[in-house]
Every structure is written in structure tokens, then in C-alpha cells.
């Protein structure tokens, strides 16, 4: 019984406090002392802070001698402003009947809070953060109260299998920032985020339901490097690392996509590497290339990360080892004559024709343009073309040899006709012993 009475008394005290606050014509202090807040377009009541309630005072604006309200107004220590607007903002001074300073009040106008805009993102599978911004600028001091709770999860049969838990505060990092972080979240659970915007004129709440699977978005990969491949004027090797915020575990891996383009072309080419390294085989010789990479959960949970900062690299143009096997070079002599592809440096250096001296009467050659080239890139790899030609040549030679061998065997083993002349064997020139002259009969 005593506990019931204690709970009832607490409720009554809270209701009484609310009624007193509502009945008071002067709003309670919110923020710095001596400042009162009001809503634009509404009536506003100012209270003289240094006198007792009901004591007659006179009001004037700071820096002005004209009285706004005399002590005989019958309003006591209050000043009423009808339909206050921005011109009414400023400092007001109240004085008692003997001219003594009663106090100073600064009026600031604004608007009640609106529901904030909230979004959440998980940079890994254990933690997530939520950020918010006001949907309407109130013009008044504003605070945000943030919390979260774990939602109930329906089972396979539609029944609830776990009770609601929480709420817990969502700590703002740093305090007062428009961001809060939830640590130790469960990857397969759902959470309800509560962000309440509070200012002197009221409060407004936004509720957002999130799950880590849907808001997962890793940070961009780090340490992107682009290097040339010696001896291959159309190849670049790109390598990168996992983002530092992603705990690399065998059950939660990332997949990647890589984009690259030459400096003079705005269009990107894209590949999906199998690991943390990729060799680009169709780079444009002699041109710098921009490369960038992004990441995503390997089971396609959430969305792709933002692109990493671009890294630049230029294919190798110096001497190097010949990238083709020896049998391709030997077969090259059997193919139609022509210059070797650019990716076969003859003698370690690509062959270049000597430059002709320009004639005096000929016009100067046009300067290269820095504008993007609208023509599509030629992504055919000379190495691949050479390998295809070599393979066709080898198969053709093998086919001809097999055909010739089969034809020879067929002609050698072909059976003769019945009436045909019998071909002498290798013993045909020999004479039988019984037919020799003078040989005794046995």
C-alpha cells in the first residue's frame, strides 16, 4: 500500500509542476540567464527579472529613452509584445518606480523544432553510427537527445522469439555533435533509433528502424598503388589493402571493383578483381592512367563503398625482357611480314623509324590537343593477337602433318584387285635351289 501511495504522490507532484509552469505567464529560463525566447508571429511576454511578481515597472529598449510601457499599465512586472517579429528582437530594460534598474532581458525569436533528418551507416559488421540534420532551421539554441533499442524479431512461424530490450543512450561522439555511435551491435538484429530535437519552444522526435545488413557500407580501400610492368607497355599493376575500420575475419570478407581510364578520356573501364591486386592488360601506351577502387561485403549485404582517392600510373616504356615465349618469336618468321607489336621490344627497345627532318616550306605540325578524345579506345592486346595467330599456325601445321601421314598409310596398306599383277616381294629376284643347273635331286 505504501508503495502505491508513493507512486501516486510522485505523479501528482509531476502534474502540479507542469500546471504551475503552464500557468506562469513568463517562460522558464532556457539557456543563458537573462535571455527569453519566443516564436515569430506570436505574442510574447517579457518578465523583469530583478523585481517581485506584480511590482509595477517601466519598460524601454536599450539605447532608447522612449518608454514602451509605463508603471501605470496595470501589467506589473510584465511587458506584452503583440505579434512579435524580427524588429522586436534585442535587449529590454525594466526600472522600478524610483528609477532604479530592475533588470535587463534579451529577446530572441525563432521557430519550434521539426523532426530531424536521420540516416545510419555501418562501416563494419559490429558497429554503426547515425547522423542527423535539422529539417527546418529554428534560429534558436538546439539540443538533441539520442537513444536506441533492439526491436523484437518475428520467428519463422510469425511468433515473437525475443523480447524488446533497451532503450539505451546512443552516445554522441564527440559530445554535442550531430552523430552518435552504437558499439557491439548484432549483425542479424534490427534496431530502432530515436533522435529528438529540443529547443526552448518544444521538442520533435524522429524514429528510424535499421538493420546492419541494409546499412552496411565499408570505408574505401586504403593504400592504392599503381605500378608499371617492365617490358609491357600496355600493362599496369594495381594493389590495395582492406580499410582499417573493417575487421578482417574469415566469415566477413570484402569484394572489390576497380575502375581505370587514360588521362585524355572521361569514360571509365571497370573490372572486378578476385583479390587485393589486379593487372590491367589494355592500358594505352605512353599515357598516364587514373585508377580507383571500392569495396563491398562479399555476400552483397549493404551497398558499395565510396571510391578511394585516385592513384596514377603510366605503363612502362623503357627496355625490358621480351614478354613472348620463344616459340612465338620463331613462328613469327613463318607469318606474313610486318612490324612486331608494340609490346615486343626488339633487342630490349621497341623499334622506331627515324624521324624525317621537316622541310622549311612545310607548315608546322599541329600541337596535340588536351581535350578528351571522343574516339573509343582500342582495347585489343597485341600479345593476345599474336598468341591467337601462333596457335592457328601451330594447329594448321599439325593438321597438315597428320593428314599427310594418314594419306601415306592409306596408300601403303591399300589392298590389290584379284586380277591385278602380283607385286614381287623382296625375295623375288632369288632363284630356287632346285632350279639351278647341276644341282642334284634330293
List pLDDT tens digits, range 31-46. Answer: 778 888 989 888 888 8
Q: pLDDT by residue (tens digit) across 164-195? A: 577 899 999 788 789 999 998 888 889 999 99
Kindly report each contact of residues 286-289 with a partner whose C-beta sits within 8 Å and lies 24 or more positions away, as own/partner.
286/233, 286/314, 286/315, 286/317, 287/262, 287/263, 287/314, 287/315, 288/262, 288/263, 288/312, 288/313, 288/314, 289/226, 289/236, 289/260, 289/261, 289/262, 289/263, 289/313, 289/314, 289/315
Reading the block at residue 41, the C-alpha cell is 508571429
| pLDDT attached to residue 362 | 40
pLDDT at site 65:
78
User: If you compute the radius of gyration of the chain from its CA atoms, what whole number of angstroms results?
Assistant: 45
**CA angle (408, 414, 417) in 5-degree steps:** 150
Confirm if 382 and 343 have CB atoms less than 8 A apart. Answer: yes
Please give the Cα distance from 404 to 410 (Å, whole number). 10
- pLDDT confidence of residue 53: 80
In order of 220, 226, 238, 253, 377, the CA distances from 293 in angstroms are 8, 11, 9, 16, 21
**How many angstroms separate the CA atoms of 198 and 202, rounded?**
6
pLDDT of residue 383: 59
Cβ within 8 Å of residue 315, ≥6 positions away: 228, 229, 232, 233, 234, 235, 236, 283, 284, 285, 286, 287, 289
Q: Are 134 and 195 in contact (CB under 8 A)?
A: no
Cα–Cα distance, 128 to 180 (Å, whole number) = 9
**Which residue stretches of 227-352 are H helix?**
326-332
Percent of the chain beyond pLDDT 70? 68
Please list the alpha-helical segments (H only) found in 362-423: 382-412
Long-range contacts of 69-75 (CB under 8 A, 24+ apart): 71/97
Query: Which stretches of the chain score pLDDT less than 50?
Result: 1-25, 156-159, 161, 320-379, 418-420, 422-423, 425-431, 433, 436, 439, 442
Distance CA 37, CA 109 (A): 6
Q: Residues in the chain, how many?
A: 442
Where does residue 199 rank: exposed (0-12), middle (13-18), buried (19+ CB within 10 A)?
A: buried
The rounded distance, in Å, linking the Cα atoms of 401 and 116 is: 81
Q: What's the pLDDT at 432?
A: 52
Amino acid at each position: 500500500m505504501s508503495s502505491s501511495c508513493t507512486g501516486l504522490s510522485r505523479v501528482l507532484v509531476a502534474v502540479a509542476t507542469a500546471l504551475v509552469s503552464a500557468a506562469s505567464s513568463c517562460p522558464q529560463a532556457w539557456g543563458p540567464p537573462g535571455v527569453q525566447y519566443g516564436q515569430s508571429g506570436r505574442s510574447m511576454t517579457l518578465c523583469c527579472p530583478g523585481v517581485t511578481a506584480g511590482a509595477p515597472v517601466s519598460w524601454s529598449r536599450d539605447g532608447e529613452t522612449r518608454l514602451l510601457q509605463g508603471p501605470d499599465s496595470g501589467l506589473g512586472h510584465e511587458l506584452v509584445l503583440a505579434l512579435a517579429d524580427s524588429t522586436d528582437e534585442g535587449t529590454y530594460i525594466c526600472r522600478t518606480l524610483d528609477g532604479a534598474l530592475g533588470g535587463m532581458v534579451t529577446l530572441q525569436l525563432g521557430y519550434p523544432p521539426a523532426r530531424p533528418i536521420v540516416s545510419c551507416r555501418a562501416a563494419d559488421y559490429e558497429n554503426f553510427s547515425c547522423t542527423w540534420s535539422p529539417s527546418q532551421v529554428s534560429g534558436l539554441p538546439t539540443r538533441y537527445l539520442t537513444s536506441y533499442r533492439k526491436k523484437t524479431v518475428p520467428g519463422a512461424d510469425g511468433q515473437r522469439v525475443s523480447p524488446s530490450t533497451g532503450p539505451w543512450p546512443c552516445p554522441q561522439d564527440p559530445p554535442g555533435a550531430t552523430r552518435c555511435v552504437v558499439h557491439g551491435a548484432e549483425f542479424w538484429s534490427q534496431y530502432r533509433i530515436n533522435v529528438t530535437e529540443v529547443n526552448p519552444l518544444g521538442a520533435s522526435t524522429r524514429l528510424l528502424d535499421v538493420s546492419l545488413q541494409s546499412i552496411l557500407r565499408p570505408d574505401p580501400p586504403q593504400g592504392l598503388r599503381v605500378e608499371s610492368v617492365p617490358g609491357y607497355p600496355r600493362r599496369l599493376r594495381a594493389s590495395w589493402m582492406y580499410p582499417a575500420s573493417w575487421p578482417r575475419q574469415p566469415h566477413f570478407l570484402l569484394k572489390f571493383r576497380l575502375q581505370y581510364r587514360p588521362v585524355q578520356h572521361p569514360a571509365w573501364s571497370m573490372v572486378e578483381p578476385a583479390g587485393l591486386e589486379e593487372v590491367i592488360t589494355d592500358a594505352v601506351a605512353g599515357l598516364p592512367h587514373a585508377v580507383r577502387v571500392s569495396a563491398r561485403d562479399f555476400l552483397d549485404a549493404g551497398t558499395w563503398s565510396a571510391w578511394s582517392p585516385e592513384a596514377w600510373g603510366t605503363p612502362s616504356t623503357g627496355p625490358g625482357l621480351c614478354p613472348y615465349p620463344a616459340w612465338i618469336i620463331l613462328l613469327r618468321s613463318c607469318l606474313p611480314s610486318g612490324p612486331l607489336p608494340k609490346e615486343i621490344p626488339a633487342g630490349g627497345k621497341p623499334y622506331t623509324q627515324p624521324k624525317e627532318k621537316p622541310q622549311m616550306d612545310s607548315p608546322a605540325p599541329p600541337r596535340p590537343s588536351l581535350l578528351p578524345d571522343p574516339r573509343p579506345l582500342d582495347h585489343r592486346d597485341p600479345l593476345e593477337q599474336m598468341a591467337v595467330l601462333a596457335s592457328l599456325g601451330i594447329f594448321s601445321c599439325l593438321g597438315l602433318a597428320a593428314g599427310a601421314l594418314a594419306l601415306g598409310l592409306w596408300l601403303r596398306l591399300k589392298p590389290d584387285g584379284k586380277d591385278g599383277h602380283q607385286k614381287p616381294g623382296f625375295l623375288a629376284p632369288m632363284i630356287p635351289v632346285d632350279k639351278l643347273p647341276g644341282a642334284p635331286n634330293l
